[in-house]
Amino acid sequence: MTKSLKGKKFFLDSHGCAKNQVDSELIISKLEQMGMLLCDTAEDADLIFINSCGFIESAKKESLDSLMDARNAFPDKKIILGGCLAERYSKVFEKELPEADGIFGNGDLDKVNEVVEDVFSDKRSVVVPLQEGVCCGTRNHSLSFPGSSFVKVTEGCNNCCTFCAIPLIRGKLRSRKISEITDEIKLLVSSGVKEINLIGQDLAAYGCGEKDDVTGKGINYYNELYVGAKQIVLEDKFFDGVKIHSPLYELCKAISLIEGDFWIRLLYIHPDHFNSDVLQLMKNDKRFLPYFDIPFQSGDDSIIKAMNRKGSFASYKKVVETIRSSFPESCIRTTLLAGFPGESDENAKNTLEFVKQIKPDWAGCFDYSKEEDTPAALMKNQVKSKVKLERKQKLEETQIPITEESLRKRVGKVYKVLVEEIIKNESGSDEGLALGRAWFEAPEVDGSFVIRYDLDDERAVKMVTPGSFVNVKALASSGVDLDGELIVSE
């Protein structure tokens, strides 16, 4: 504990993805270990810490706007810009962003004390640790809704998709040991967490970093499973003549040994090396949700190749067919990128056709963002902004009825729902309302499940508690949400 910081208050403004949220939770705990106190508003803080996103242009602008707004509103407070944006542009910001008292990268969060101590000593500080290992540790505060938690299993990425700046920001792929991850999950489950969301830049590549030894078996997964590998949806892999499973399978197998009533959700699996060996394991342990987050990005063969991906319309469709053959009611989420450099009208139509054929339950549609220092930024035939937005809109228009139909098929069925929050009753009626999520709804990105219950029923009121599981019958669907009625057991 640093004596000069004891009792100082800080406010953390977190931006970006779930991986950044985990970093924010770690930073909060590390600042508290220094003797500082977390507060709910920037007005009450001595320090404002902005954990930024640097993935695409709109996210970068949002983070910088937050910094400028904080500086204008609180000219005398200490402000640190951390996260991906700070990591990527630290040298630029050191000279051209005087509004920030400190710049902190995200390579080693244990060194956050250095930048904080500097700024409270009136020293402008830039601390950008090397990208090594996977930041983890104690998280005393959760930024998720009660009952849910993200668990980071990898950091960095080796896929090097031509449009993506993640390898420039987070570095090369590296993975946490299986035992370390399972220990964290056990701790979370024992504290009452009901939903564990495994996250990384690419879960399919878990354990395949150059220096990874996640199992302790000495298998070089990097060479055997990752480097130069083609589509491996249904392929068996061998090491020294012995059939091996993917490291992700080994991780899931270890997690399946943990006792308790909880969900496991696998988020972000790159389609080029989809881990088909986990399917049977998931069938054997129903706690593994048949929810598959697979960012296909495009359905056109030439654009897929230009993205530095190894798949195709046919092979990516095969991934979906493989999943649905094992889980007919599985939920598939994907990401689609409109207006990649060189994308023609015909290329865009092929992606639309791909969407129509695979019918993903959920899809995030984005227009291509030109990111400096990525190969795609230097490509010829950049698509005009107006055209990119038009193609993005067409993708969304194609996806909306698919999602609506998917939800309509779920009406009339009973689902286990994780309660997230209670909606305050201001009407004076006896109907209670709460929001939650079923297994086919991931946190923050998908729709919600509206839970209706009787406020005069003490059992119902006791059951509907944030962070708990309840059974709900889906009565109707509206847009991306389901509306249901609580089932009160006798």
pTM assigned to the model: 0.92
Q: How many CB atoms lie within 10 A of CB 116?
A: 28
Task: Report which residue type is found at 261.
Answer: D
Query: According to the 3-state scheme, what is the secondary structure of 213-262?
Result: CCCCCCCCHHHHHHCCCCCCCCCCEEECCEEECCHHHHHHHHHHCCCCCC
408-424 per-position pLDDT tens digit: 999 999 999 999 999 98
**How far apart (Å, rounded) are the C-alpha atoms in residues 395 and 381?**
21
Got the DSSP string for 96-155? H-TT-SEEE-SS-GGGHHHHHHHHTTT--EEE-----S-------S--SPTTEEEEE-EE
Which residue in the block uniquely carries the two structure tokens 């305050």?
Answer: 424
Report, as ranges of residue numbers, the positions in the chain whose pLDDT lies below 70.
Answer: 1-3, 224-243, 490
Phi-psi region of 110 (alpha: psi -120 to 50; beta: other; left: phi over 0): alpha
Q: Tell me, what amino acid is at 391?
A: R
State residue 311's pLDDT score: 93
Residue 396 makes CB contacts below 8 A (sequence gap 6+) with 365
| Residue ranges in 409-486 assigned as alpha helix (H) | 458-463
What's the burial of 335, exposed, middle or buried (CB within 10 Å: 0-12/13-18/19+)? middle
Query: Residue 297 has what DSSP assignment?
Result: B
Phi, psi values for residue 22, rounded to 5°? -60, -45
- What's the pLDDT at 135? 87
- Answer whether 36's CB lies under 8 Å from 4's CB: no
Interatomic CA distance for residues 254 and 250, integer angstroms: 6
